[in-house]
Amino acid sequence: MEGRRIESDLGDLFAVRATVDQAPSVRRLRDDLARWMLEHGIEQWRPGDLPLEWIQECVSQGWVYVVSRGEELVGSVTIVWEDPLVWGERHEPAGYIHMLMVNRAFAGRGFGRALLDWTERFILDSERDLARLDCTRGNRALRRYYERGGYELVEYKAFPGLEMAPEAALYEKGLRT
């Protein structure tokens, strides 16, 4: 299969750029994860809060990567080179990681960490030394996960117009260490 190999306990998997026809599957995965989070008291996303058209636009820009096993979507990640909405104008070249998602059927097997490792290598191979990501300030489990992965809190940023995520925790990691 064409793509970039991800080493994981799930066998040989490959991250490939998503195609527009895969956008509905990416949205379905996000909505499934949003439902799961809400059922477990985690306020991060809401089902249906991202329009399919927005995901299609991200896919058409080449920002979305998917990992499948057979016909099943195992995970997805979105990588952009600028993020002025969340991070403002930053001068250091960085990769911004969004919607790092793992299908719950594959959770707890280290694939999320493997996908994050792959994303960091992809950013580094793109000649950027920093990886940046964010999550809601109140999502303590996800914040600990990122901190265990070497990410450092940079700041909190308020988004008063967002009901589910009124304040974000912004993290970054130097990739040359």
Q: What are phi and psi of 30, to 5 degrees?
A: -65, -45
Rounded Cα distance, 87 and 97, in Å: 12
Question: Which tokens in the block code for residue 163?
Answer: 């009901």
Using the predicted structure, report yes or no on whether residue 163 has a pLDDT greater than 70: no
b/e string for 83-102 if b means 16 or more Cβ within 10 A? beeebeeeeeebbbbbbbbb
Taking the domain 4-129, which CATH number applies?
Answer: 3.40.630.30
Q: What are phi and psi of 89, to 5 degrees?
A: -85, 120
Using the predicted structure, report yes or no on whether residue 119 has a pLDDT greater than 60: yes
b/e string for 156-167 if b means 16 or more Cβ within 10 A? ebeeeeeeebee
Q: What is the pLDDT of residue 11?
A: 79
Task: Find residue 78's DSSP bridge partners.
Answer: 64, 98
pLDDT tens-digit series, residues 37-94: 999 888 888 899 899 999 999 999 999 999 998 889 999 999 999 999 899 999 999 9
pTM of the model: 0.92
Those residues whose C-beta lies under 8 Å from the C-beta of residue 73, and which sit 6 or more positions away, are 22, 25, 26, 28, 29, 66, 67, 103
